[in-house]
Amino acid sequence: MSTLKIRNLNKSFGALHVSRDVSFTVPEGACHALIGPNGAGKTTLIHQISGVLRADSGQILLDGRDISDLSVSARVQAGLGRTFQITSVLPSFTVLENLAIAAQAKSGSSMRFFRDAAEERALNDIAQATLERVGLGSRAQIPAADMSHGELRLLELGIALVAKPKFLLLDEPMAGLGRAEGAALVTLLGDLRASIPMLLVEHDMDAIFQLAHTVSVLVEGAIVAEGTPDEVRASAAARAAYLGGDAA
Amino acid sequence: MMDRALVLGGIIFGLLLAAPFVLPLLGAGYLAGLLIKAMLLAIAALSLDLLIGHGGMVSLGHAAFIGVGAYAGAIALESGIEEILVLLAITLVVTGAVALATGLLALRTSGVYFLMITLAFGQMIYFTLTSLAAYGGDDGLTLWTMGTLFGSDVVQNDGGLYFVVLGMLFLTWWGIYRMSRARFGRVLRAARDNPARAEVMGYAVNRYRLVAYVIAALIAGVSGLLMMQHAEFVSPTIATWQHSGDLIVVVVLGGLATRNGAILGAFFVVVIEEVLGSFFTEWRLIYGPLLVLMVLYAKGGLSDLLVPRQTQGKHP
């Protein structure tokens, strides 16, 4: 059983064809990377998978289930976790509360009006355990607004992990990270990918070569090359379109 | 650590509870009436704070629900229903239905568009009330009967009504505080801070906003019903968008999403209006600049002046 299957996705904004018949499959235990120059349609594709945008045609299957018509929140409930290209957390919440409220979404109804949510042990325990997992165990009580950029990236990943996703959508997780922070994140993602398959949209080629099993190259909305990182590096189409002088 | 907001709340309710036993010395009727008026304003303001402060939904049509509640009660009363608990049920059903219908549409928008659409709905309700010719139209309706509680007249004199209104104020204050700390309030706060993030945590954000919108309208409706019972009169002017604006002033002045802010704001406004109004007919000439100073120099509102928030540093 494959985990995420994209079938013939098409999307246009007026005359601009931003996704052209995009198809790929990310199997169990795999990390699939999506690369391409700016404006290739990577973010639009991510938006279609996560549900921010609806595709004009085509299907998105998660564990065999067609999720193409679900809302953003319903896709998350169905098991699709994601991180944002631009860091997105709840700045006025503490670090722990950011994770506790994410856990709350997966644990019974949130239409509860009386009991103090901050005192729910079960939620706080999941939150704390996830904090330890992403290496932020000691930062639990800090307001998220006071965290460094690198820590926020980890917190975001933690928010996605709390929901025990079946699949992770990572939109440029390395953006803006320093060398050491980036290396730590690569190690963390490397540990995760065996248990949670992931789609990685990234500019950082080192990270891609370390993490990805397979790579698709997106140019002007269409996939022009696909294969292992080494195959893609060697592919003329990919080099012409994207890697160019950068990887030579 | 002492919860100073709770202490302040305790002081406020302690004073309000003691007031009727002290006030007869000071000339009863007028002051009791003034306190009831302030408490009713506070109830409506607390409900608006649930929308604006906790939910980030700035509505310019909230006063319309006060109008709906008051008129639902008044019309039922005119048609012969006098039991106040039945009037309450009718008010809740009517206000809830109107809130659900307008909320479903209004919440398709956010920000300034939400402001506009709530303004439009509010004005539609206002003009509907003015067109009720059988119930006084523009002039409003003077009521010749009042609601009774199990046939008794305890809710008809200021004495009994005072405690009913105080009880409702306490319930609203306490209920909204509990709600803000519970799962529901946490989701509402997340949706206010970063709706896209809340969606990607798996929350259908608008469902929570709609529930908050309806709850706020129900509370406003009840305050309208009590207003009707107190004034023995209803008028469409309570539903105007200007009145919604006044409510926003009360909430911002008191301090958004604070425990006691809406109550402090309501009492401040009522007292200022009475005191300045007794000296000058053009009291708004002083009230206006006073508001400007408050907004510029006391950003957290009256609540922050009395109970500074512990997590934030002092303003420079």
Q: Cα–Cα distances in Å, from B229 out to B63, B80, B84, B154, B226? A: 17, 15, 9, 12, 5
Range B78-106 average pLDDT: 96
What secondary structure letter does DSSP report for A142?
S
pLDDT at residue number B316? 33
Q: What are phi and psi of A190, to 5 degrees?
A: -60, -40
Rounded CA separation A227/B4 (Å): 63
pLDDT at residue number B28? 60
Rounded CA separation B71/B141 (Å): 9
Range A44-72 average pLDDT: 94
Burial class (CB in 10 A: 0-12, 13-18, 19+), B208: buried
What secondary structure letter does DSSP report for A146?
G
Nearest to B181 among A73, A90, A117 (CB): A117
pLDDT at residue number A205? 87
Range A96-110 average pLDDT: 94
State the ipTM, two decimals. 0.87
The pLDDT mean for chain B works out to 91
pLDDT at residue number A102? 96
- Provide, as residue numbers in chain A, all residues whose Cβ is less than 8 Å from the Cβ of B198: 90
CATH number, span B7-16+31-306: 1.10.3470
pLDDT digits (tens, 9 = 90+) for A174-183: 988 888 889 9
Confidence check: pLDDT of B155 > 90? no
Rounded CA separation B147/B80 (Å): 10
Structure tokens at A198: 């992931």
Tokens 């939620």 belong to A123
Structure tokens at A93: 């919440």
pTM of the model: 0.91
pLDDT digits (tens, 9 = 90+) for A90-102: 999 999 999 999 9
Range B164-185 average pLDDT: 97
Cα within 13 Å of Cα(B37), Cβ side: 14
Structure tokens at B313: 């540093």
Structure tokens at B43: 């109830």
pLDDT at residue number A248? 38
Burial class (CB in 10 A: 0-12, 13-18, 19+), A6: buried
Nearest to A110 among B187, B194, B196 (CB): B187
Q: Provide the residue ranges of all domains of chain B, joining segments of one domain with +.
A: 7-16+31-306
- Which of the residue ranges A156-170, B147-161, B300-314 has the most confident prediction, judged by mean pLDDT? A156-170
Confidence check: pLDDT of A170 > 80? yes
> How confident is residue A31, by pLDDT bands cut at 50, 70 and 90?
very high
Range B3-31 average pLDDT: 84
Confidence check: pLDDT of B26 > 60? no
Q: Does A164 touch chain B (CB under 8 A)?
A: no
Rounded CA separation B49/B185 (Å): 12
pLDDT at residue number B96? 98
* Domains of chain A, CATH where assigned: 1-79+165-248 (3.40.50.300), 90-162 (no CATH)
Task: Provide the β-strand partners of residue A88.
Answer: none
Cβ contacts of residue A88 below 8 Å, gap of 6+? A156, B194, B196, B197, B200
Q: Does A90 touch chain B (CB under 8 A)?
A: yes
What residue in B sits closest to A71 (Cα-Cα)? B204
Rounded CA separation B120/B154 (Å): 39
Q: Does A89 touch chain B (CB under 8 A)?
A: yes
Cβ contacts of residue A117 below 8 Å, gap of 6+? A100, A101, A104, A123, B181, B182, B183, B185, B186
Range B215-244 average pLDDT: 96
pLDDT at residue number B310? 53
For residue A93, give the nearest of B3, B313, B97, B190 by alpha carbon.
Answer: B190
> How confident is residue B145, by pLDDT bands cut at 50, 70 and 90?
confident
More confident residue, A233 or A31: A31
Confidence check: pLDDT of B315 > 60? no
User: Could you tell me if A201 and A213 are in contact, meaning their C-beta atoms sit under 8 angstroms apart?
Assistant: no
